[in-house]
Structure 1
Amino acid sequence: MIGLVLAAGAGRRLRPYTDTLPKALVPVDGDKTVLDLTLANFAEVGLTEAAIVVGYRKEAVYERQAALEARYGIKLTLVENDKAEEWNNAYSLWCARDVLKRGVILANGDTVHPVSVERTLLAARGDGKKIILALDTVKSLADEEMKVICADGRGVRRITKLMDPAGATGEYIGVTLIEPEAAAELADALKATFERDPDLYYEDGYQELVDRGHTVDVAPIGDIRWVEIDNHDDLAKGREIACQY
């Protein structure tokens, strides 16, 4: 199993930082970025390799590749998304379809979270589970969150931002454990998703799997502090949280 980070997005709501950097390289703790924090988490749970999907301002990631490998002891492979500024992240994850065959812990490049999330996912493995989503069942939800409805024994029934927060089981935080056995079926679902609408999210690919009768499981992460950084308010929260890890 290796790490996988989606870091191809432009992050336009974080300008001027993202005028020259992808969102994953915006500093959140001194000179440390979200990508630094994620790679540190991967290293702490014993991963020695990771892939990073790059697109917007990809040259900034290439420039730091060697330094990141040396700092975290992780061999990095960069996977290029040729439509990063045109299409949404269902296509971005599909670009890493060959990486999925190795089994991955997937982390969005804009999610500041503690290593306890990766540990929770690894502890939840087994019993035939192929895809396990990190789920926050504590946080109060609003319209922007990626909300999930679960059913006992059947995993995810619905995952979308477009639902009444009151009916949701929790929020998907942007970290998933994907076993190698799920790679082919997930890649096919992602392809169907972006071919239907290139603006869709990879979470819509998860919904496609559920609709096809596959099981997508969840692992509650407990009461922890984390944030998805979309705008400057989120960045301020991320900087407050990151310095505590």
Structure 2
Amino acid sequence: MIGLVLAAGAGRRLRPYTDTLPKALVPIDPDTTVLDLTLANYAEVGLTDVAIVVGYAASEIESRVKGFEEKYGVNLELIHNPEAETWNNAYSLWCARDHLANGVLLANGDTVHPASVQRTLLDARGDGRRIILALDTEKKLAEEEMKVIWTEDNGVTQVTKLMDPDTATGEYIGVSLIEAAAATDLASALQETWERDPHLYYEDGYQYLVDKGFRIDVASIGTVDWVEIDNHDDLARAREIVCPS
């Protein structure tokens, strides 16, 4: 199993940082970015081979590869998404389809979270589970969150932002474990998704699988400080988490 990071996005709501940097490299403190934290998490759980999907301002990540490898003891491979500035992340994950056959721990490049999230997913492996989503079941949900409905009998039945928050089991935090056994089905679902509409999310690919009868499971992350960085308020929250006063 390898680590996989989706770091192709432009993050326009984080300007002026993202005038020149991809969202994954926006500074949380002078020496730390989301990508730093994600690579450190992978190293902590023993995943030292990591693929990163890059696109917008890819050269900024390329220039830091050697430093990241030396700092975190990882081996990095960059995967280029040529449509990153106009298409959504269903296509980004599809660009990494050849790596899914290794089994991957996937993390969005804008999510600050502790390594306990990765450990929770790794501990949840087995019993035929092929895709496992990290789920926050503690947070009060609103309209913007990627919400999930899950039952013991059927697994995930819905994963979408477009649902009544009161009906959701929890929020998908942007971290998944994808077993090698899911690679072919997921790659096909992602292709179907971006060909239908290139602006769709990879979670729409998950929903496509669910609608076809593929079981997706969840693992609750418990009470964990984490944040998805979409705007400057989220960035301030990330700084509180990483650098508490």
Whether TM exceeds 0.5 here: the answer is yes
Correspondence for 2:110: 110
Correspondence for 1:242: 242
TM-score for both structures, normalised by structure 2: 0.99
TM-score for both structures, normalised by structure 1: 0.99
Cα deviation 1:171-195 (Å, max 9, x = unaligned): 0000000001101100000000011
| Identity among equivalent pairs (%) | 70
Correspondence for 1:126: 126
**Deviation of 1:32 (Å):** 0.6
Correspondence for 2:144: 144
Cα deviation 1:86-120 (Å, max 9, x = unaligned): 10000000000011110010000000000100000
4+ long deviations beyond 2 Å: none
CA-atom RMSD, angstroms?
A: 0.7
1:87 maps to a residue whose letter is W
State the alpha-carbon separation in 1 of the partners of residues 30 and 20 from structure 2. Answer: 18
State the alpha-carbon separation in 2 of the partners of residues 168 and 130 from structure 1. Answer: 22
Correspondence for 1:182: 182
Cα deviation 1:133-178 (Å, max 9, x = unaligned): 0000000000000000111232100000001101100000000000
Secondary structure of the structure 2 residue equivalent to 1:233: helix
Matched, 1:219 2:195: no
Structure 1 portions without partners, runs of 5+:
none
Cα deviation 1:214-238 (Å, max 9, x = unaligned): 0000000001110000000000001
Structure 2 portions without partners, runs of 5+:
none
Of 21-30 and 198-207, deviating more is: 21-30
Correspondence for 1:72: 72
State the alpha-carbon separation in 2 of the partners of residues 242 and 102 from structure 1. Answer: 31
State the alpha-carbon separation in 1 of the partners of residues 219 and 8 from structure 2. Answer: 26
Structure-to-structure mapping, 1:1-245, within 5 angstroms: 1-243=1-243
Secondary structure of the structure 2 residue equivalent to 1:101: helix
